[in-house]
């Protein structure tokens, strides 16, 4: 079976590469033309997450890189090359996307909508009628902040919190139109917010919550103190818009890739099938507040509206308006169709303050120092991540 993947060097894409190589002898990576060496970035990820040296050494044999331009006709390929690529594929995974919540809608559409159109055109041209697995987001549910979002829902009635949500909604609509026009099946997978306990590294992509680290750096300008160094009574109050009973679904990215590959192997009809790939518990907004207070020398106060007289730190938080509305969300994502197909899909990972704190550390060292339980490279969340990663690599076909 010939499988292709876009977005292979992204936060989720790197994990999909590892899972797909467990099931297939080879993989075609459709990489952005002119970007940094895709194969080298995949190999580096494998090394940093504990893959055996022999597995990494085999990657050039098992992975073929085809450089493309997603937003261009025929993906920027010559006619003959585009046709040859299309005719040899049995499955196309589309994971590439612009996940910048605060980006301009024009830029978001260029990648998320037109890129999806290019993938669908490639699938339509293929003699083997390749199956399309489209990675969307649970947040196409839009600006509805309460209630239940169901897997088969797709409408714009509630509006959208940001341009990212709108662009992903428009991309998913394209998948439905393509399926109807060509009489073809497709699978749409909607993950929630992806997170990891793997600390940041300059050679690895950021995960969505790591903008907290950038805010933290802003908070520390002009002071040598960290959040734990400043007595509680001396910390300034920072007002952040949010609901005290709000909650968000944060999904460990390794578990996400595993569930997605299992879903792809399931029986499929001749229509679009949509699955919410979400965690089995939500994270209270108060946990995110505690995370901010762990990183910043502040006390966070949730308020209903943005302050009219923001302090410099409150202004720094406001530089990320795309994420801010989620602190007021109290909705739930239904995943009945996932559980019907796969049964219970618990990751065994509790996404809590310690887990999130591990994933937002600012240093990576070969021999990490001892740190408080739950923090850094020696805490239980990070050890759990490394054990899960190494177990996945050991079962790989590499």
DSSP string, 337-393: HHHHHH-----S---SHHHHHHHT-S---SSPPP-STTSTTTSHHHHHHHHHHHHHH
Instruction: Please tell me what DSSP assigns to residue 205.
Output: P
Q: What is the mean pLDDT of the chain?
A: 86
Distance of CA 132 to the CA centre of its chain: 19
- What is the distance between the alpha carbons of residues 192 and 137, in angstroms, rounded to a whole number? 6
Q: Do 266 and 388 reside in the same domain of the chain?
A: no
Q: Do 262 and 394 reside in the same domain of the chain?
A: no
Four-residue CA torsion sign, 143, 356, 102, 97: negative
The domain total for the chain is: 2
Which of these, 158, 156, 128, lies nearest to 143 by C-alpha position?
A: 158
What pLDDT, on the 0 to 100 scale, is given for residue 315?
A: 83
Would you say 220 and 165 are in contact if contact means Cβ atoms under 8 Å apart? no
Which of these, 55, 12, 8, lies nearest to 28 by C-alpha position?
A: 8
User: Which region among 7-16, 112-121, 344-353, 386-395 has the lowest average model confidence (pLDDT)?
Assistant: 386-395
- How many CB atoms sit inside 10 A of residue 160's CB? 19
Bigger pLDDT: 30 vs 368? 30
Which of these, 165, 134, 164, lies nearest to 149 by C-alpha position?
A: 165
Q: Do 275 and 339 reside in the same domain of the chain?
A: no
Distance of CA 303 to the CA centre of its chain: 28
Which of these, 63, 395, 93, 121, lies nearest to 263 by C-alpha position?
A: 93
Q: Give the pairing of strands 283-284 and 247-248.
A: antiparallel
- Tokens standing for 356? 């999130």
User: Which region among 108-112, 250-254, 297-301, 315-319 has the lowest average model confidence (pLDDT)?
Assistant: 315-319
Which of these, 275, 265, 266, 261, lies nearest to 392 by C-alpha position?
A: 261
What pLDDT, on the 0 to 100 scale, is given for residue 370?
A: 32
Indicate which CATH number applies to the domain containing 266. Answer: 3.40.50.720
Q: Do 182 and 317 reside in the same domain of the chain?
A: no
pLDDT in tens, 231-247: 777 888 989 999 999 99
Q: Do 56 and 75 reside in the same domain of the chain?
A: yes
H/E stretch holding 211: helix 211-220
H/E stretch holding 3: strand 3-6
Q: Do 326 and 256 reside in the same domain of the chain?
A: no
- Tokens standing for 32? 């952005």
Q: Do 137 and 175 reside in the same domain of the chain?
A: yes
Residue 162's pLDDT band, with cuts at 50, 70 and 90, is very high
Domain membership of residue 100 as a residue range: 3-192+251-279
Q: Give me the residue label for tokens 């797909």.
A: 20
Domain final residue, candidates 279, 299, 323: 279
Q: Do 221 and 114 reside in the same domain of the chain?
A: no
What pLDDT, on the 0 to 100 scale, is given for residue 35?
A: 75
pLDDT in tens, 71-95: 899 999 999 999 999 999 999 999 9
- What is the distance between the alpha carbons of residues 329 and 284, in angstroms, rounded to a whole number? 10
Q: What are phi and psi of 190, to 5 degrees?
A: -115, 95
Q: Do 169 and 244 reside in the same domain of the chain?
A: no
What pLDDT, on the 0 to 100 scale, is given for residue 228?
A: 52
pLDDT of 319 strictly over 90: no
What pLDDT, on the 0 to 100 scale, is given for residue 270?
A: 75
pLDDT of 316 strictly over 80: no
Residue % of the chain over a pLDDT of 70: 85
Q: Do 186 and 329 reside in the same domain of the chain?
A: no
| Residue 132 β-bridge partners | 92, 186
Q: Do 256 and 343 reside in the same domain of the chain?
A: no
H/E stretch holding 68: strand 63-68
Q: Do 318 and 177 reside in the same domain of the chain?
A: no
Q: What are phi and psi of 135, to 5 degrees?
A: -90, 110
Domain final residue, candidates 235, 261, 279: 279
Please spell the DSSP secondary structure of 73-87, one letter per residue. Answer: GGGG--HHHHHHHHH
User: Which region among 67-76, 227-236, 311-320 has the lowest average model confidence (pLDDT)?
Assistant: 227-236
pLDDT of 397 strictly over 60: no
What pLDDT, on the 0 to 100 scale, is given for residue 216?
A: 60
């Amino acid at each position: 079976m010939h499988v292709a993947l876009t977005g292979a060097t992204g936060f989720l894409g790197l994990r999909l590469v590892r899972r797909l190589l467990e099931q297939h002898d080879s993989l075609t990576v459709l990489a952005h033309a002119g970007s940094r060496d895709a194969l080298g970035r995949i190999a580096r990820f494998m090394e940093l997450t504990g893959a055996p040296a022999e597995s990494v050494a085999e990657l050039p044999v098992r992975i073929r890189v085809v450089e493309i331009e997603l937003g261009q006709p025929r993906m920027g390929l010559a006619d003959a090359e585009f046709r040859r690529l299309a005719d040899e594929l049995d499955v196309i995974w589309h994971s590439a996307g612009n996940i910048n919540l605060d980006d301009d809608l024009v830029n978001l559409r260029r990648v998320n909508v037109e890129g999806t159109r290019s993938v669908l055109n490639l699938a339509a041209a293929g003699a083997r009628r390749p199956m399309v697995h489209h990675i969307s987001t649970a947040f196409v549910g839009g600006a509805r902040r309460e209630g239940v979002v169901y897997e088969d829902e797709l409408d714009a009635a509630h509006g959208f919190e940001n341009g990212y949500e709108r662009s992903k909604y428009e991309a998913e609509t394209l998948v439905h139109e393509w399926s109807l026009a060509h009489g073809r099946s497709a699978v749409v997978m909607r993950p929630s917010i992806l997170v990891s306990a793997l600390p940041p590294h300059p050679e690895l992509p950021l995960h969505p919550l790591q903008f907290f680290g950038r805010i933290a750096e802003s908070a520390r300008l002009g002071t040598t103190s960290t959040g734990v160094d400043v007595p509680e009574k001396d910390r300034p109050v920072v007002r952040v818009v949010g609901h005290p009973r709000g909650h968000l679904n944060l999904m460990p990215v390794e578990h996400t890739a595993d569930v997605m590959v299992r879903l792809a192997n399931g029986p499929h009809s001749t229509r679009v099938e949509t699955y919410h790939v979400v965690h089995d518990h939500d994270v209270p907004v108060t946990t995110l507040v505690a995370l901010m207070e762990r990183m910043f020398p502040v006390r966070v106060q949730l308020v209903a509206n943005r302050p009219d007289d923001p302090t410099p730190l409150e202004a720094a938080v406001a530089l990320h308006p795309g994420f801010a509305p989620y602190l007021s969300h109290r909705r739930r994502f239904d995943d009945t169709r996932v559980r019907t197909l796969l049964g219970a899909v618990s990751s065994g990972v509790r996404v809590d303050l310690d887990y999130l704190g591990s994933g937002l550390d600012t240093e990576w060292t070969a021999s990490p120092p001892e740190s408080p339980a739950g923090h850094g490279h020696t805490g239980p969340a990070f050890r759990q991540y490394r054990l899960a990663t190494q177990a996945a690599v050991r079962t790989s076909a590499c």
